[in-house]
Structure 1
């Protein structure tokens, strides 16, 4: 079981909305304030209040620094190197310190790509205000307090085609740095005349979200729910970020794969040996030949191939070259895959490679390498099933 948070970003995401949602789900506000106090930011004050957004009761966390409201322009640490040094020399716990620096480094990389400058020369402008540091540190404290091990998010609603006021003038939504931070994160554009995803919210997700796996539909056992309020009062929906927290038993591997199929009734059976060799050499993950009966009651073979989407065209080309088929159909699929490791182990008959499959650290499957067992069987004149059984017992 893995304790997991799922953020519903249907009305966007920001640093203070993450704070509000997590506090609403049970993260102690006092713990956030205590850790922020270690930053020794002058005149920094956090407040918590309940608000109603289109009938939804939510927590609103505000950060006040030098009497400027959250998302104001108190530029105490506007240069990336200054912010990084400030965090590095702070009294934060090392785990918080490292993640905070990692998040600000992602922001700096995004700004660097946009402006074509070295990271060391980057100024954060709006993102250089101390309240951005408070948002990031506060979110990380919440994740620790709620014992969250993995974080997932829905596709992000980034808002509509509007202009955003920045230190560089009016910029299209999403702002260039935000767009850079959103690389690799699913987003969509909605008919809302606002910026719905802030750079801080995007940066926190960029670093903290799970990148290698995704949730299986219906797999989270919800224990806690929280709503964090945003600053907008939208006409037709509540401006809240919802977080669902609970235990998850299994995840789907995020590797994108497709299944390719073709029914073949007029190719010589002799071609399939070469075909399978070429398909595996080209990167196919699996190839199967399944006997089927065609519409005119002819016996035929259904060729079924599993491969990564990016090589689908190359795989189809091999099928057309090596068989008589006129078409190949394909469709995307999700697959659950155990974490696999291969190690050599000693048995009474010699060393054998063994594949071990784990799910969240637990051993689910053990499989001795058949070719190793086969070689030992011939060498020692011992039945292969005996060697296979011995390898499983040793494991």
Structure 2
């Protein structure tokens, strides 16, 4: 055995999280303890590192990435599979072009799912694509907290309500704000204007609102002036 009952009891009561690697930290104290039993493969030594955490303001998340290779299905089948997976609540789906054996063109389907959905989504992948196997890759990732808020903007047809996706770190600092694509598309069709022009209109409207004004759900707009960054990105794309 590699642990005594007393050692296991200590771990169960003192440990809050099990990780596969050291978290970001500055080591302060390192301690070693050697056992009396000699193992042939590994040294019988326990190391404990005490450190001060480095807080970068990011959140941790545990997900799984499902992958499968396809080289004998049509684009229509792949497109339908993506729609089906998204409707089933997966985190994300992407399709990567590739060449398989004998230089046949194919695609890699990558799906990000919660751990509890791995078997269910794997079954859907097999049913929809006919693939014979799905790779499962456990994955840790850093993420930002996301929140959808509503805001009213002025347009030539009157006031319109749009949704904004707000990304914050663990300290509440806003790092990104972006209008929801479906709302931009809806306004572009309603106003009969290009999508980029409507995006710029939305950004200018929101930036013009003073910090004392609020969104329809009473969120303060002071911090939302970070939309300047998004506007600059849109200008770079247009150039």
Aligned to 1:376: 187
Q: Identify the structure with bigger relative contact order (alpha carbons < 8 Å, sequence gap 6+).
A: 1
CA distance in 2, matches of 1:391, 1:268: 38
Q: 1:219 aligns with which of 24, 27, 39?
A: 24
* Counterpart secondary structure, 1:258: strand
1-structure distance, mates of 2:198, 2:57: 32
Say if 1:221 and 1:248, in contact at 8 Å, map to a contact too. no
Extract unaligned runs of 5+ from structure 2.
38-43, 207-223, 225-239
* Partner SS state of residue 245, structure 1: strand
Q: Cα–Cα, structure 1 residues 288 and 234, in superposed 2: closer, same or farther, change >3 Å?
A: closer
- Quick check: 2:148–2:163 contact (8 Å CA) kept in 1? yes
Aligned residue in 1 for 2:228: none
CA–CA distance in structure 1, aligned partners of residues 22 and 78 of structure 2: 37
Q: Secondary structure in 2 aligned to 1:296?
A: helix
Larger radius of gyration: 1
Pair 1:263 & 2:69 matched: yes
Number of equivalent positions = 195
What's the secondary structure of 2:75's corresponding residue? coil
Aligned with 1:274 (options 73, 80, 92)? 80
Partner of 2:129: 323
Cα shift at 1:234? 5.7
Match of 1:289 in 2: 95
Give the 4+ runs in structure 1 shifted more than 3 A.
Answer: 197-201, 214-218, 224-227, 232-242, 390-393
CA distance in 1 between counterparts of 2:132 and 2:46 reads 52
- Does structure 2 retain, via aligned residues, the 8 Å contact 1:258–1:308? yes
TM-score calculated relative to the size of structure 1: 0.43
2:139 pairs with 1:333: yes
**Corresponding residue number in structure 1 for 2:56:** 249
Task: Encode CA deviations 1:270-327: one digit per residue, 9 max, x unaligned.
Answer: 2123212221222221111221111211111211111112211111211221113222
Whole-angstrom CA distance in 1 between matches of 2:185 and 2:9: 59
Deviation at 1:328, TM superposition (A): 1.7
SS class of match (2:54)? strand
CA distance in 1, matches of 2:45, 2:129: 57
Distance 1:235 1:279, change over 3 A: same
Counterpart position of 1:196: 7
8 A Cα contact 1:344 1:354, kept in partner:
yes
For residues 217 and 390 of structure 1, the distance between their equivalents in structure 2, rounded to whole angstroms, comes to 46
Structure 1 CA distance, aligned partners of 2:36 and 2:75? 65
Q: Distance in 2 between matches of 1:258 and 1:239?
A: 31
Q: Report if the CA contact (8 A) 1:216-1:250 is conserved.
A: no
Q: 1:269 deviation in Å? A: 1.7
Q: Secondary structure at the match of 2:90?
A: coil
Question: Is this contact kept in 2: 1:366–1:392, CA < 8 A?
Answer: no
Structure 1's unaligned 5+ residue stretches are: 1-159, 161-189
| 1:200, distance to aligned residue in structure 2 (A) | 11
Deviations 1:239-287 (A, max 9, x none): 9965312432144523x31111111111122212321222122222111
Show the counterpart of 1:157. Answer: none
Q: 1:364 to 1:234 in 2, by over 3 A?
A: same
Deviations 1:307-351 (A, max 9, x none): 112211111211221113222222111121110111001223322
Aligned CA RMSD, in angstroms, stands at 3.3
CA distance in 1, matches of 2:88, 2:139: 20
Distance 1:210 1:260 in 2: 25
Q: Structure 1's 251 and 220: CA in aligned 2 closer, same or farther, altered over 3 A?
A: farther
SS of equivalent residue, structure 2 residue 122:
helix
Give yes or no for contact 1:220–1:249 (8 Å, CA) kept in 2.
Answer: no
**Cα deviation, residue 384, structure 1:** 2.1
